[in-house]
Structure 1
């Protein structure tokens, strides 16, 4: 997947539907340029930062050269990516599925401190792949135990995660901590971010707060669930 694909998928996922022309009007460019970007016909664009902001994407997911115009000029440079902890680089840990079909691995989560979850390093089993993970490599599931997201997610629900899907505003995610000794996770509703912090929401009790990106560098999008 290229950065051009991230733009196209994020626009297609907008509700209500956002056309190429409408996106262009919002950021001050033509529909033709949006089409060229989505079809991988440009190597970079000085308008990319505005497009990313409008779609709620993370600039850190885009290469630096993508922010440069074809003439060699540059727009806003993407901030450096937050270092990913070593355990997050292990495909076995984040449930790299064997292929694009069949069951997905299921990981257990136990209550941790301050509303966080401790994720087991090895799967406890597998569950049937839901429609939203069909054809998705590295999809996985978590047996949820936390109570901070009731009523959206309750203890005992199975959460299905697509780590390859762009994270949009007002979507629920699993945020992963950077502690190699005790890998931790936190299920929250993503609202916005800066270079230093995520702004998130939980429902029980209902509150909005920030999480440091240095402490929680990785996030994966939850796409569906099975009720307990």
Structure 2
């Protein structure tokens, strides 16, 4: 049974990576795939991170939407339909950043639950551990690591709703993506949280940026409870 479970995890990771590669090379976002299938964006995110396998029907629909060979996609490979193989519509710039399936590490990284916040792109940690995910090889010996699913679209296209990111307590520097957790406001039990790009620390402010819509955002450092660094893909895979 253990071997079957491992094989399923490896298949999920391979198919998920293939779906992401096909999607990014087509210049699509997860929301468009989800809309075509009539499902939640988070479901597509779960496929791409290898947490779940798409049903046969959904796999066929994804292949049709992205114009790739369905049989190859089901084996974790991407073969574009012949009529589009040389199309300039393929987003070749994305290829270098597509993640390959992570080697199967221990399933010991906590996935923290998060709830949708207000209209400012914020969310809140709900204090629950909703599951565990594989530990990529690049953080095999790193302590104080957790994962969380992205909520909100303020960092698209860098992060999309449903994407799973790994975070650590390592001090962030300018240029790092970060998760900011604020102290609760008066009358609240939990504080707001945000995913942003750290620009600089200036006096009593943390200056950040977001992509959607593009703008600079500042936070009072005395209102910050914690700042977590989002671990970039190159570090997760050990580069």
| TM-score normalised by the chain length of structure 1 | 0.51
In the alignment, structure 1 residue 172 sits paired with structure 2 residue 177:
yes
Q: How does 1:80-159 map to 2 (within 5 A)?
A: 102-113=107-118, 114-159=120-165
| Higher helix residue share | 2
Alignment check: 8 A CA contact 1:170 1:190 kept: yes
What residue ranges of structure 2 are gaps of 5+ in the alignment?
1-104
Give the alignment's Cα RMSD to 1 decimal.
2.1
Q: TM-score, normalised on structure 2?
A: 0.49
Structure 1 residue runs of 5 or longer lacking an equivalent are: 1-99
Number of residue pairs matched by the alignment? 126
1:5-64 CA-to-partner distances (Å, cap 9, x unmatched) read xxxxxxxxxxxxxxxxxxxxxxxxxxxxxxxxxxxxxxxxxxxxxxxxxxxxxxxxxxxx
Counterpart of 1:160? 166
Q: Which runs of 4+ in 1 moved over 2 A?
A: none
Partner of residue 221, structure 1? 229
Q: Secondary structure at the match of 1:214?
A: helix
Distance 2:155 2:232 in 1: 14
* C-alpha distance after superposition, 1:106-164 (max 9, x if no partner): 0122221222111120110010012232101111000111110000100000010121x
> Matched residue of 1:120: which SS?
strand
Taking structure 1 as reference, are residues 185 and 105 closer, same or farther at Cα in structure 2, changes over 3 Å only? same
Match of 2:201 in 1: 193
- 2:106/2:134 contact within 8 Å kept: no
Of 207, 211, 216 in structure 2, the residue corresponding to residue 203 of structure 1 is 211
